[in-house]
Structure 1
Amino acid sequence: MPAVSEISPAGPPEVVWFKRDLRVEDHTALAHATAAGPVLCVYAVELDYWRQPGTSDRQWQFVHECLLSLDAQLKSLGTALEIHVVPVIQMLDALHLRLGPFTLHSHQETGGLWTYARDRAVAAWCRDHGVRWHEYPQNGVVRPVSRRGRRFKEHWDAWATAPLAHLPTQPLWLGPASGRTVSLLPTAVKADPFPCAGRQRGGLQPARDLLDSFLAGRGQDYGAHMSAPATAEQGCSRLSPHIAHGSLSLRQIAQTALQAREAAPRAHWHRQLGSYVTRLWWHCYALQVLENQPAMERQALVPEMEQLPRPMDRARFDAWRLGRTGWPMVDACMRFLHHQGWLNFRMRAMLVTVATHTLSLPWRPVADWLAELFVDFEPGIHYTQMQMHSCMAASPVLRLYNPVTQARELDPNGKFVRRWVPELRAVPDDWIVMPWAMPATARHRWGLMGSDDYPAPRVDFEQVHRSVKAEIAALRSSLDLQPAPGFNERPRQTARAQRTARGLQQGEAKLPAQLSLF
């Protein structure tokens, strides 16, 4: 491996800029660059990005591990990753000064407004410096959407089954500049409000292990286990942070799952794998919604829905974000998320609707807080969910999650609640979902003498939900509001499942009301 970055006589340098694609396998940008000439692999630690709302140190720790894994993968091929702890434009200036003319390669990124603006600045820099920038899709998103030319499901099927990208047998490399190796990586980028001891680990091997164990049997009851947080922890593939940060390509995951489905008998396991692959393309469709409407990160897709009364109440917000609402299932899920950095999607939806409807909080601070907690934060998934469940997309079906009903359905014996809300550990099953309803003598007996032990709910959710439904119905009717494009609801997959499947094959994808992904 070269010790310094010197221009090879084989031709001008090809620079691969790694972003949310921290791998070597099925890396289209790297494959094209190595086919063209000597390659330098770079990554910029953008501290300004890590200061944005929705970013967190728990996310950085996962990325840090992915970068160490990527560097090890590159070293096995004869090179290493060059690290820059500066804004990307400064990195490009330094590379241009050192290398002279070069070609830039990267994957397209469907991210938030900050990365969108950053990429526009990179495009302008490339134009000003005569640098060709080749961008390659790394999922089913089409940019611009006018190029799609076919229905989204058809496009995604073609993309997912296309051959994986491979490197040439003997690529030419440019080694990193002296002193710009992974040793430059910061160990932390910001303070995390909660320890995330249960966080998943980043890198290629953890991703492979998860995929292998899911397909080897962990996913056998995927459909039955995805809704309850306790069973979803093992029953879901748990690949979402690896997909979000690119330590394993989504196309690799899709093709491996499709191969397993073809090999499986056309019975239970075959259906579970089909359900999983369906969620992979729902993932890309959600990203496509953000790609088409990037302002949805901060703006309601149907602006009129902002007329709903949602003032910021700091006491209510703190009770929700700290897991002290008084609804045991809500608080258990929030505390689980503090510790794990992950939560299944049905419970994510419950946290959003409880915050934005039951507690009548504004959706933006809710979105920012949850984004910080999710190690698998993916803007396209996160903001489509936020817009839908806070009703800022004016979705025709309003989902209001009753905390008591969810607890009875998903944690009937209170095992999950008792694990994550230890204040209720001694409370008997009869009261575990509604501890506030206990007589005073029972509260005293089970150690709940006052609100400092465990609070009572701040509102009557049944009364509030009736009021919320009436408010939303009146607003939609008075202004004749239509749902935002891309947010038409799918029918539920009950007796109509076959007709729904045929409709999705024949028509445009419709974003489901509940993305129970991965």
Structure 2
Amino acid sequence: MADDTAVVWFRRDLRVHDNEALLEACDADAVLPVYAFDPREYGEREFGGRSSFRFEKTGAHRTRFRREAVADLRERLRERGSDLVVRHERPEVVVPAVAKAVDADVVHFQTLPTAEEAGVENAVRNRLRGLGVTPARHWTHTLYHLNDLPVEYTDISDTYTSFRETVENDAKVREPLPDPTLPGAPVDAVGAGSIPSNADLGVDDTDHDDRGAVGFEGGESAGLDRLDRYLFEEDRLREYKQTRNGLLGQGFSSKLSAWLNEGCLSPRRVRREVKRYERERVANDSTYWLLFELIWRDFFQFQFAKHGTDFFGRGGIRGRDDIHWREDDEQFERWAAGETGIPFVDAAMRELNATGYQSNRARQNAASFLANNLRLDWRRGAAYFETQLVDYDPASNYGNWAYIAGVGNDNRDRYFDILKQASKYDGAGEYVNHWLPELSEVPPGKVHEPWELTEAEQAEYGVQLGMDYPEPMIDLEESYRKLR
């Protein structure tokens, strides 16, 4: 028998397509969707306890993207005869109040594996049970469903290759769910509310930086458009494996991560479109590689379900206590501002600050410099990325940082030779010149090591070290000797 009234609490599943929570709710006679901008997601936050450091959890780029995503969801629901209640308050206050106001029988919502998100969910569930309302959880954000893993999630391999081979051989990806037919929404009982501005949320506004390759407009509509553009309109997927390490331009990679991480795109929808591309265009190692990357994303989601808060400890899931992590505010601030004097790192950080985005190659080098060359607490770097990234996901972000810092899913110590990486992936210096205009006149053979310029060359190229561009904050080769 169908429930009379259901509430759908949207979280990081801001879409109509392939959304089990929404679809299941639509068995009811009336469905009221709701979204809460949690004040704890914005403003200054403490990480790791009183002895650690403070940071802004959600910065301007992701706040803007999320607001756009919520606005797009509301519009898509209204087009289907429904609506979206929006509040700026803690979900454990908003969701039970809405459920009580409309006499709901059940509240459907997405469940997530990371600690803070699970804590909010538990608070909501407890209050709903106190009202006699049934909480209904749904796993909606991975390619492979949690219940379809060949082993219990607590027993999955901590090595990606082993995990990938296991799911590819012994599990199936479910087909995307159909779009629901939405019954009426009793929105008048509570009022729809307005979407708060960045200022309302205590976050600075941000303008689009024309140097960024993609504007990252939030929402399901923009996410579906990006997916279609990359695969079919521009036919980029056939060369993805060859171009994915690029640094400049919008087409070298799919750039779907922001829409995936806010739930504007379902990974199963992406897979379905990749399979259609393979049927209609070509199937090769590049088309497979995009699915390979989606499985990487799954890997960290299930790893966090397995290991929980151990991932956020300084020693990571390996419990390492043999690395001397340093605290140096001045060095950290230079890294964060893109003023290290190492052009490849600085270009990456200035791109991040200006746009909320970095390519995978840029992220790895920027993270390795902080964690390995400087040996500053890797969690502080991860927290800075958490603030800045438009495509932040806690499992992917902290999982990848831990991996690079040598405390995560690898039993080897990893570090990037930044000059070799710069030479290989930015040999002509185009990326550095794009984000460091003060070095734009320095020729490609010298731009990645400006500290080698003579005074005459500095005058010739219009850059004075220590004035126009900083001297390097460390000797790279000396730092590598300490790591070897």
TM-score, normalised by the number of residues in structure 2: 0.87
Match of 2:374 among 344, 348, 359: 359
Which residue of structure 2 lines up, in the alignment, with residue 226 of structure 1? 244
| Percent identity for Structure 1 against Structure 2 | 23
> CA–CA distance in 1 between the matches of 2:390 and 2:109?
23
Give 1:161 shift.
3.8
Match of 1:37 among 15, 29, 43: 29
> CA–CA distance in 2 between the matches of 1:45 and 1:394?
33
> CA–CA distance in 2 between the matches of 1:158 and 1:128?
41
Match of 1:142 among 126, 141, 146: 146
Match of 2:428 among 413, 425, 440: 413
Which residue of structure 2 lines up, in the alignment, with residue 254 of structure 1? 271
> CA–CA distance in 1 between the matches of 2:385 and 2:325?
18
Contact 1:200–1:340 (Cα < 8 Å) also in 2:
no
What SS does the aligned partner of 2:316 have?
Answer: coil
What SS does the aligned partner of 1:36 have?
Answer: coil
Which residue of structure 2 lines up, in the alignment, with residue 177 of structure 1? 188
Gap change, CA 1:219 and 1:303, over 3 Å in 2: closer
> CA–CA distance in 1 between the matches of 2:169 and 2:59?
34
Which residue of structure 2 lines up, in the alignment, with residue 476 of structure 1? none
> CA–CA distance in 1 between the matches of 2:425 and 2:472?
20
> CA–CA distance in 1 between the matches of 2:96 and 2:180?
29
Give 1:321 shift.
0.5
Gap change, CA 1:220 and 1:61, over 3 Å in 2: same
The answer to whether 1:191 aligns with 2:193 is no
Contact 1:229–1:333 (Cα < 8 Å) also in 2:
no
Which residue of structure 2 lines up, in the alignment, with residue 396 of structure 1? 411
> CA–CA distance in 2 between the matches of 1:201 and 1:312?
36
Gap change, CA 1:182 and 1:246, over 3 Å in 2: farther
Which residue of structure 2 lines up, in the alignment, with residue 500 of structure 1? none
Aligned pairs for 1:486-505 within 5 A: none
Give 1:36 shift.
3.2
Aligned pairs for 1:83-122 within 5 A: 83-111=86-114, 113-122=115-124
Give 1:117 shift.
1.3
Aligned letter for 1:12?
Answer: D
Aligned pairs for 1:291-310 within 5 A: 291-299=305-313, 300-302=315-317, 304-310=319-325
Deviations 1:17-65 (CA, angstroms, capped at 9, x unpaired): 0000111111111111112331111111111122344321211111111
> CA–CA distance in 2 between the matches of 1:19 and 1:302?
27
Aligned letter for 1:248?
Answer: L
Gap change, CA 1:306 and 1:453, over 3 Å in 2: farther
Gap change, CA 1:99 and 1:40, over 3 Å in 2: same
Deviating more after overlay: 88-97 vs 253-262: 88-97
What SS does the aligned partner of 1:456 have?
Answer: coil
Aligned pairs for 1:45-60 within 5 A: 45-51=37-43, 52=45, 53=55, 54-60=57-63
> CA–CA distance in 2 between the matches of 1:167 and 1:275?
28
CA RMSD of aligned residues (A): 2.6
> CA–CA distance in 2 between the matches of 1:414 and 1:310?
32
Which residue of structure 2 lines up, in the alignment, with residue 277 of structure 1? 291
Structure 1: gaps (5+ residues)? 1-9, 470-518
Which residue of structure 2 lines up, in the alignment, with residue 124 of structure 1? 126
> CA–CA distance in 2 between the matches of 1:295 and 1:370?
18
> CA–CA distance in 1 between the matches of 2:206 and 2:374?
23
Gap change, CA 1:100 and 1:435, over 3 Å in 2: same
Give 1:467 shift.
0.7
Which residue of structure 2 lines up, in the alignment, with residue 325 of structure 1? 340
Aligned letter for 2:453?
Answer: M
Match of 1:82 among 85, 91, 94: 85
Which residue of structure 1 lines up, in the alignment, with residue 49 of structure 2? none
Deviations 1:379-431 (CA, angstroms, capped at 9, x unpaired): 11111101110112273333221221111111111111111101101112231
Aligned letter for 1:142?
Answer: L
Give 1:351 shift.
0.8
Deviating more after overlay: 183-192 vs 113-122: 183-192
Match of 1:263 among 266, 273, 280: 280
Aligned pairs for 1:414-429 within 5 A: 414-429=429-444
Gap change, CA 1:172 and 1:304, over 3 Å in 2: closer
Gap change, CA 1:167 and 1:396, over 3 Å in 2: closer
Give 1:283 shift.
0.9
What SS does the aligned partner of 2:194 have?
Answer: helix
Match of 1:387 among 402, 406, 422: 402
Deviations 1:289-335 (CA, angstroms, capped at 9, x unpaired): 11212214531324652442221111211111101111111111111
What SS does the aligned partner of 1:177 have?
Answer: helix
Contact 2:96–2:127 (Cα < 8 Å) also in 1:
no
> CA–CA distance in 2 between the matches of 1:304 and 1:161?
33
The answer to whether 1:335 aligns with 2:334 is no
Which residue of structure 2 lines up, in the alignment, with residue 163 of structure 1? 175
Which residue of structure 2 lines up, in the alignment, with residue 244 of structure 1? 261
Gap change, CA 1:134 and 1:45, over 3 Å in 2: same
Contact 2:311–2:317 (Cα < 8 Å) also in 1:
no
> CA–CA distance in 1 between the matches of 2:133 and 2:169?
33
Contact 1:357–1:400 (Cα < 8 Å) also in 2:
yes
What SS does the aligned partner of 2:14 have?
Answer: coil
Which residue of structure 1 lines up, in the alignment, with residue 216 of structure 2? 200
Structure 2: gaps (5+ residues)? 46-54, 157-161
> CA–CA distance in 1 between the matches of 2:465 and 2:268?
53
Which residue of structure 2 lines up, in the alignment, with residue 510 of structure 1? none
What SS does the aligned partner of 2:32 have?
Answer: strand
> CA–CA distance in 1 between the matches of 2:205 and 2:367?
20
> CA–CA distance in 1 between the matches of 2:326 and 2:188?
52
TM-score, normalised by the number of residues in structure 1: 0.81
Which residue of structure 1 lines up, in the alignment, with residue 50 of structure 2? none
